[in-house]
Amino acid sequence: MAAIELRGLTKVYPGGVKALDALDLAIPDGEFFALLGPSGCGKTTLLRTIAGLETASGGSVVIGERDVTALQPGARDVAMVFQDYALFPHMDVTDNIAYPLRIKKVAKAARHEKAAEVGARLGLDHLMDRRPGQLSGGQQQRVALARVMATQAQAYLFDEPLSNLDARLRLEARTFLKKLQRELGVTTVFVTHDQAEALAMADRMAVMESGHIRQIGTPAEVFQRPANTFVASFIGSTPMNLLDGVARGDTLEVAGCKVAVPVSAEGRVPDGTAIVYGVRPEYMTYSAEPADGAFGGKVAIVENLGASHLVTLDVGDVIVQAVVPEGSEPLVGDDGYALPRRDRALVYRDGELV
């Protein structure tokens, strides 16, 4: 088990795509670290470059005390789960899971015992004699996960490890993975498209855009205080309201409404400054009655979120969204008012958090 440190890591593919642009990242020993970001931002490239499946164009990869930048994948002592699993079609589940142990010359009985133990924990116990061709996509994915988890390595690298599981299994596997990672204490980097997964599982996470890391933090930090408008618009199950405004004395003029300066920006936005005002729909109090500092408008859309509703208000020529508890949702065409929470709203200046 080991810390991972990336220093100025750059990857330029033949043809000129710069997939990683001088990345610096330090992942402490034992951490569960998520890489999140839109398609094409460089997540898979980063994972593959740590694993040694891609050579770095510049910078270095350090695992534990060793600079592994020039080492072959096999010499790096990391285990990776790929999006496409790479299972051996002619081996049954037991042998697939036990394969890395066979390479390490672990005795047959011991490796079968380990395969059975990990397989059972991933709900594969009744499938151990089958071959990959006789399994569903989700089952194959669990075999690939089990194979990595049965291996002792300095670090685990997972590329979308749960992407082929159905919603329920995904939740179960998520809990299982987190628990097992805790028990094993192996430094783990995982790539996901699913921000709920990253928020739920990771100790810390990085949000990437075009080969750059735009924010590193705990899930709570990234969710509550996105460092810039890119992260603010990317993170969250409903998009954050991001509205252009101007500082006017001790209030902000946003979308034609006067709103209070958020607590976190108090005294830090001089009069006349152009800003972007950010507040999550979850941090709005919705009412049919006007209130000081609220955005007022006409209800344009009401969407059912299950236990709550997302209400979209037309406020002048912009839209403002608020999450409203079940039972108190308005009707389309009603007048509505959304009052932001001052302790949760944020101010961005030139795209960066104030």
Ligand X SMILES: Nc1ncnc2c1ncn2[C@@H]1O[C@H](COP(=O)(O)OP(=O)(O)OP(=O)(O)O)[C@@H](O)[C@H]1O
Give the binding site for ligand X (CB under 6 A).
13, 15, 17, 19, 37, 39-45, 193
CB of residue 20 to ligand X, shortest distance in Å: 8
Task: Give residue 208's region: left, alpha or beta (phi > 0; psi -120 to 50).
Answer: beta
**Residue 15 or 327 with smaller CB distance to ligand X:** 15
**Residue 158 or 277 with smaller CB distance to ligand X:** 158
Q: Which residue has the tokens 């749960």?
A: 162
**Residue 55 or 218 with smaller CB distance to ligand X:** 55
**Residue 40 or 239 with smaller CB distance to ligand X:** 40
CB atoms within 10 A of CB 176: 18
Q: Report how far apart the first and last C-alpha atoms of the chain are (Å, whole number).
A: 38
Label the pairing between strands 32-36 and 187-192.
parallel
Structure tokens at 270: 């001089």
**Residue 43 or 214 with smaller CB distance to ligand X:** 43
CB of residue 214 to ligand X, shortest distance in Å: 13
CB of residue 83 to ligand X, shortest distance in Å: 8
CB of residue 140 to ligand X, shortest distance in Å: 19
CB of residue 141 to ligand X, shortest distance in Å: 16
**Residue 11 or 280 with smaller CB distance to ligand X:** 11
CB atoms within 10 A of CB 124: 22
Cα distances (Å, whole numbers) of residue 241 to 255, 317, 320: 11, 14, 6
Helix residue ranges, H only, 211-277: 219-224, 229-234
CB of residue 335 to ligand X, shortest distance in Å: 42
* Rounded distance between C-alpha atoms, residue 285 and residue 238, angstroms: 15
The H or E element spanning position 253 is strand 251-254
